[in-house]
Amino acid sequence: MSSRCHTESAAAAPHPLDPLSADEISAARRILMEAGKVAGSTRFPLVLLDEPDRHVAAAHLDGDPVARRLRATLLDSATGVCAEALVDVTAGVVVSFRELDVAVEGQPPVTFEEFEIVNAVCKADPGWREAMAARGITDTTLAIAGPLGAGALTFDDRPGARLARALTWTRCSADDSCWAHPVAGLVADVDVIERRVIRLIDTGVVPVPAECGRCETEFNGPVRTDLRPLEISQPEGPSFALAGNLLSWQNWSFRVDFNAREGLVLHRVTHRDGDRERPVLHRASLGEMAVAYADTEETRNWVAFLDAGEYSLGRNANALRLGCDCLGEICYLDAVVADDLGNPETLFNVICIHEEDHGLLWKHTDIFNEMAAESRRSRRLVVSYIATVGHYTYGFYWYFHQDGTVGFEAKSTGVVQTTAVLPGEGSAYGTEVAPGLLAPFHQHLFSVRLDMAVDGPDNTVEEVDIVPVPTGPDNPNGNSFTTRATPITDSADGGRLADPAAGRRWRITNPGSLNRMGQPVAYTLTPQPGPVLLAQPDSAVAKRVTYGTKHLWVTRYRPDRRYPAGEYPNQNAGGAGIPEWTAAGESLENTELTLWHTFGPTHVPRLEDWPVMPVDHSGFTLKPTGFFDRNPALDLPR
């Protein structure tokens, strides 16, 4: 990762949690090639850092030797054989190599090359061309057959086949929005290795919507003229500092990382309290996100995407632009990932770091002394990136506040997925956003992985509800309410649901660290609850997206428990990840924990969401709860 912003030191010492470098990715490919594991048909769906155990990372001191290992997933594009390798690029050796049983474990993510392959395969298929001609489309130059994750699709005569399911859109011109012109009632199932359509489902002709859906200014004028300039200036520069990938700001410090699957990752989040550096999080990332649709039509009732595990969310990151994606005194960071051939590829300006005003932080006016008034404005640090997967664009924002609060926000925008209906006919499962153009109802189910470290590694989670006290001797006037804390002691409890009526939140405590009132220090996860997965429990979607059936799962921390839907959710029938880790049950008391928090909007599209959707916000906060002995922002200057 390189930086075009001020750093405290030009060359920080290597750290075990540093992002991958171009040299390391090149070395991994070379080592695998020398070991005879790479052929001309080999593709690299994923190359990731094999992160050290949290104790190894915590014990590292500047100047200590650093051993770097990479996890590479390989796909033979000629045979469909997949494998995973662990490569020690420091020692120059392949540590382990095994072939994947893709029929059981699932497939590696979709490669960028396969987008082109599936599009070309469909356009060459006589049945697909005939179906398009039946809809009045004989020139398919402007059509796009998009490779969508096949979900739980299997064929008895080809177990373990690498599949894609292709829906089709078309355009009026090369720069038109294809999402305005869906070709409904048609899906092509493609064997990506054999490069042929193995099944075509055509449920009948529905007219392709003709109205364009352009969002550019020239198609939506006249432009407003009453918007005056807004400038954000920090004449002395920002208040944060970077030393390599170690970011420090207002008592906060953490390491900034980026990988091809999850995108932005934060390591070793600590807060300085006097002369103590106190840990809060060992690791924080977006572990997975599912987009599950409600359409019942045969060619679309399977649609549910897992954008991290199926499409490599980080590889789809945007190059950010000053004044548009980020505003103010901005620090941009690049990231290095592996391309389909296993070579390093630099993604420019993918991470944005900046400060922003966040309104009033605290204020007190003494009503008995009108001259005595104190107030402080809030400033927060923002670390973010934006990714586009297909038609949707997502912004992911980590917020760090001066009062010790950590926040996370997902901003969903872009274009809603579309299909066609007879104009005016509508659907009980979607919104007709333009004549004959249907936007199906759907859910965005984000799962954030939080490896907690509240004042140390040994933590316990309590579910805290606010409960009214019945009228009686202890509450004679019927006015009282209190809190009820229930420890989550076993991972087999089945996950937890938010309850807005009870003000439910989850408190992560450290029983071995007490505050001045003699209580365990804690951070509290406060959710913004919405519906969990609405698909039926016996559905293929529910089996693959089990994490989405609860707002919170708590598991024991393990270095290999990385993703809530498992390592390879592409064509995985389900049961991997959280279902595996919670089935047998493990004690969760006073130990190393990972929280998996599910949230996100259930989207019933509006007319106002077309042709581009205004941002939909969702997220959560982690607030100190007895972690500090008093307000930690009392030392802010007037």
Give the C-alpha separation, 170 to 493, whole Å: 48
Q: Residue 271: name the closest of 398, 404, 379, 401 by CA.
A: 404
Mark whether 392 is an active-site residue. Answer: yes
Give the C-alpha separation, 595 to 553, whole Å: 6
Mark whether 307 is an active-site residue. Answer: yes
Give the C-alpha separation, 304 to 592, whole Å: 32
- Which listed residue (257, 307, 451, 455) is catalytic? 307
Residue 209: is the preceding peptide bond cis (ω within 30°)? no
Tokens 């572990």 appear where?
287
User: Does residue 311 sit in helix, strand or coil?
Assistant: coil
Give the C-alpha separation, 344 to 27, whole Å: 10
Contact (Cβ atoms closer than 8 angstroms) between residue 554 and residue 591: no
C-alpha dihedral over 328, 331, 622, 58, to 10 degrees? -160
Sheet strands (E) in 61-169: 69-76, 82-88, 93-99, 144-148, 163-169
Contact (Cβ atoms closer than 8 angstroms) between residue 306 and residue 149: yes
Contact (Cβ atoms closer than 8 angstroms) between residue 135 and residue 162: no
CB within 8 A of 232, min separation 6: which ones?
Answer: 327, 328, 329, 356
Give the C-alpha separation, 34 to 37, whole Å: 8
CB within 8 A of 291, min separation 6: which ones?
Answer: 304, 305, 307, 392, 442, 443, 444, 445
Give the CA angle between residues 524, 529, 530 to the nearest 5°.
165
Give the C-alpha separation, 543 to 61, whole Å: 43
- Which listed residue (311, 332, 392, 523) is catalytic? 392
DSSP, residue by residue, 422-480? -TTT-BTTEEEEETTEEEE-EEEEEEEEEEE-TTSS-BEEEEEEEEEPPSBTTBTTS--
CB within 8 A of 575, min separation 6: which ones?
Answer: 543, 546, 566
Q: Any idea which residues carry the catalytic annotation? A: 307, 392
